Amino acid sequence: MTEPTRRDLGGRQADRVDALVEATIAELRANGYDGLTVRNVARRANVAAATAYSYFGSKDHLVAEVFWRRLAALPTVSIDRRGSTLTRVSAVLRELALLVANEPELAAASTTAILAADPDVQRLRDQIGAAFNERLVAALGDDAEPAVVRALNLALAGALLQAGMGYFSYTQLADRMDEVAGVLLGANR
Amino acid sequence: MTEPTRRDLGGRQADRVDALVEATIAELRANGYDGLTVRNVARRANVAAATAYSYFGSKDHLVAEVFWRRLAALPTVSIDRRGSTLTRVSAVLRELALLVANEPELAAASTTAILAADPDVQRLRDQIGAAFNERLVAALGDDAEPAVVRALNLALAGALLQAGMGYFSYTQLADRMDEVAGVLLGANR
DNA sequence: CTAGTGTCTGGACACCTGTCCAGCCAATGG
DNA sequence: CCATTGGCTGGACAGGTGTCCAGACACTAG
């Protein structure tokens, strides 16, 4: 295999990828998004720059991967049938909102990174969007109105964006989304 | 005045700024966002790179300015009291959605540019957000529920984002926002 | 033990970015 | 008519980005 392909982790190369991801988090905490450089991350992970680039094509790819891993690590939505739909949706939204809430640097970086044009990032973005949608649908139940699902997805995207831009905190984000869910679900139920 | 200040257009320097803005549009049409460079725009506008930089600190600033000018050029919302609230909101949303709809390059570029960290862009972003909100409020009327206004703003931000990312076209965007507005306004009226 | 294979390294590369500054030029005011 | 002044020029600058490659290295198989 001449080309590293950057996708299927060979197994023991996963270690290198893990090291890079860890180093990204450390670097973000230490120097923030602006100070983040593929080369810096590589150095911190004791890896040559060229090697890092063979796994991650850009700093945004690194950060997006961090976010994706956190999201993927979330446990599956538990469908607590006793609570109301709104309660479940609230819980899911809160969970998503707080993924990066207590690490401001990471939060801001994620927002920016996920929007990058880089095709590697685009792949992750699609995955992230799908995961968001999946969790929303799980919370809403099978009988959810498609229009409500779409509206919630849009609002969530908008809210994450605005939080990332600093218009409000990620904690407030959760409250805002609660409000949106309340209005939307109050509508047809 | 030693520092150009980049803000108040002296009057006859506005011509240079205009030339740069025009050149940005032309350059976008010709070479797309990737090909866009402050230096390229400067060349096209027959201006030295250093001069261009004295007015616009980054390519994103250029593009954001283009978007802002379009938005600012929109006529004020006419409050047609005969139509329903939903009709008015729909009209406003459609107007905003279609600002850049027929120029794909510009649309994609705007989305990316407006999200940039550049402080000059941030200023414009705030203005743009305010203008969006203002138009929504005007369409909704004074008695609008604040929660609904916030929800619409979030959804609009999310929709513009997703359209910019290529998940759907700006024309579809208008339809999606209609749907959201329908659900939200159907709720408490 | 040795050959083979695939990965990692370090350094060079071309290109882009935003900033700086000495000198030029055109308009204004005396 | 000159002197002054402020903006513009063009070219150089230090940094950063992503790519490339020849050679070093470490496993694995024979």
- Write out which nucleotides of chain C lie closer than 7 A to a protein Cβ: 6-12, 16-21
* Model pLDDT for residues A40-60, shown as the tens digit of each residue: 999 999 999 999 999 999 999
Q: Which nucleotide lies at the shortest CA–C1' distance from A1?
A: C6
Q: Inform me whether the pLDDT recorded for A118 exceeds 50.
A: yes
Asked whether A65 and A56 are in contact (CB, 8 A), the reply is: yes
Query: CB B151 to CB A148 under 8 A?
Result: no
Model confidence at A120, pLDDT cuts 50, 70, 90, reads very high
* Model pLDDT for residues A65-82, shown as the tens digit of each residue: 999 999 999 998 777 778
With left for phi above 0 and alpha for psi between -120 and 50, is residue A84 left, alpha or beta? beta
Cβ-based neighbours of B172, under 8 Å, separated by 6 or more: B163
How many angstroms separate the CA atoms of B56 and B39, rounded? 11
pLDDT at A160: 94
Check if A182 contacts B (Cβ < 8 Å): yes
Residue holding tokens 């991350």?
A41
pLDDT at A9: 47
Nearest to A161 among B33, B148, B161 (CB): B161
How many angstroms separate the CA atoms of B183 and A56, rounded? 42
Q: Scan residues 67-106 of B and list those with Cβ closer than 8 Å to A.
A: none
Give the residue from chain A lying closest to B186, CA to CA: A187
Give the residue from chain B lying closest to A173, CA to CA: B154
Percent of chain A with pLDDT over 70: 92
Shortest distance between the Cα of A157 and any Cα of chain B, in A, equals 5
In order, the DSSP letters of B131-148 are HHHHHHHHHH-TT--HHH
pLDDT at B6: 35
Model confidence at A104, pLDDT cuts 50, 70, 90, reads confident
How many angstroms separate the CA atoms of B143 and A92, rounded? 31
Structure tokens of A128? 């992230």
Model confidence at A11, pLDDT cuts 50, 70, 90, reads low
pLDDT at B1: 37
Model confidence at A8, pLDDT cuts 50, 70, 90, reads very low
Mean pLDDT of A160-173: 91
pLDDT at A5: 35
Asked whether B116 and A112 are in contact (CB, 8 A), the reply is: no
Spell out the alpha helix ranges (H) of A36-169.
Answer: 38-44, 49-55, 59-73, 85-97, 104-114, 119-140, 146-164
Q: Scan residues 124-143 of A and list those with Cβ closer than 8 Å to B.
A: 125, 129
Amino acid A16 CA to nucleotide C9 C1' distance, rounded Å:
14
Higher pLDDT, A153 or B4: A153
Determine if the pTM surpasses 0.85: yes
How many angstroms separate the CA atoms of A9 and A12, rounded? 8
Check if A153 contacts B (Cβ < 8 Å): yes
> Which pLDDT tens digits describe chain B residue by residue (189 residues)?
333 333 344 456 788 999 999 999 999 999 888 889 999 999 999 999 999 999 999 999 999 999 999 999 999 877 777 889 999 999 999 999 888 888 888 988 999 899 998 899 999 999 999 999 999 999 999 888 999 999 999 999 999 999 988 899 988 999 999 999 999 998 555
Amino acid A16 CA to nucleotide D27 C1' distance, rounded Å:
16
How many angstroms separate the CA atoms of A153 and A168, rounded? 19
